[in-house]
Amino acid sequence: MKLSRRSALACIALTSASMLAMTTFAAQAGTLMDRIESGEAIRLGFANEAPWAFPGKNGEPLGFANAIALGVLKSMGHEKIEPVVTSWGAFIPGLQARRFDIITGGMYILKDRCENIAFSEPIGNFGNAFLVPKGNPKNLRTYRDIKEQQATMVTGAGYNTIGEAKKEGVDDSHIMQVPGPTEMIAAVRAGRADAAALAYFGASEAVAMSRGELEVTDPSAMPDWTHNWAGIGFRTEDSDFLVTFNKALKEYLGSEKMLEDVREYGYTAAQLPGNVSTKWICQNR
């Protein structure tokens, strides 16, 4: 059968569109390297939680966890970046559903999380603390204090502080879960919760937002086992990319350039992770 010129052009256009769609689908369904090789941006997933990670006025990725990830990626030659702002509780589901490619929200490396995603080598060592009313009227410094006083603790949905509190004997009925720091601050200020549990860095940032109504407790009062290491999260199938990322991270972390990149967010050499490995953390945290 002989095709008309118009029909032939239509077939060519349809074939080209089909090939483009197949290429796009392959990039979306394939590994991170497939996306990069097809010209797609590397999508960074993070929540609005300063100073860890948060969007700027134009949606750009800010915060020290983002700064570290961006510094490493840039040293690898990757500068085509797309920020994806999500909630903390959506980090792992969003990564697995391919809504973004890397978790740069400052997520702690924990055993149960290591069963679902892969982590880079640690980017920092951090402790948790409480955000309490000025003067700390109930003298709440540890999870045991919450338990003994039958106080109400508020924290973020998906935060590791939930498991820590339960391990220390705090009943689930005394743990209030909310989306993030803004709601945690509101709960303590309104008296719905006696203390908010979160990472010390986030708590210090929240104090500045509270207009003098709140204060942060000493993180050293918490048990040693609650001190954790944060990492950058990847899908398990992106292991090849993770290997090269870790090599670049080793060169970047602790360098003058890195410390300059994160200085404005309060991260200092004191937060560097030391010689501990992600393998050890996954087995022991």
Asked if residue 7 belongs to a domain, the reply is: no
Quote the pLDDT of residue 28. 55
Residues 162, 48 share a domain: no
State what percent of residues in the chain have pLDDT above 90: 83
Residues 265, 210 share a domain: no
Residues 236, 213 share a domain: no
Asked if residue 13 belongs to a domain, the reply is: no
Residues 117, 254 share a domain: yes
Q: What is the domain range of residue 237?
A: 31-125+229-284
Task: Give pTM, 2 decimals.
Answer: 0.82
* Residue pLDDT, tens place only, 232-259: 999 999 999 999 999 999 999 999 999 9
Asked if residue 5 belongs to a domain, the reply is: no
The total of other beta-carbon atoms located within 10 Å of residue 4's CB is 8
* Residue pLDDT, tens place only, 93-129: 999 999 999 999 999 999 999 999 999 999 999 999 9
Residues 237, 120 share a domain: yes
Asked if residue 103 belongs to a domain, the reply is: yes
* Residue pLDDT, tens place only, 181-190: 999 999 999 9
Residues 90, 153 share a domain: no
Residues 139, 71 share a domain: no
Last residue in a domain, options 186, 207, 226: 226
Asked if residue 179 belongs to a domain, the reply is: yes
Q: What is the mean pLDDT of each run of 10 residues along the chain (285 residues)?
A: 50 47 51 96 97 96 99 98 96 98 98 98 96 98 98 96 97 97 94 97 84 92 93 98 99 98 94 96 95
Residues 6+ away with beta carbon under 8 Å from 213: 133, 134, 189
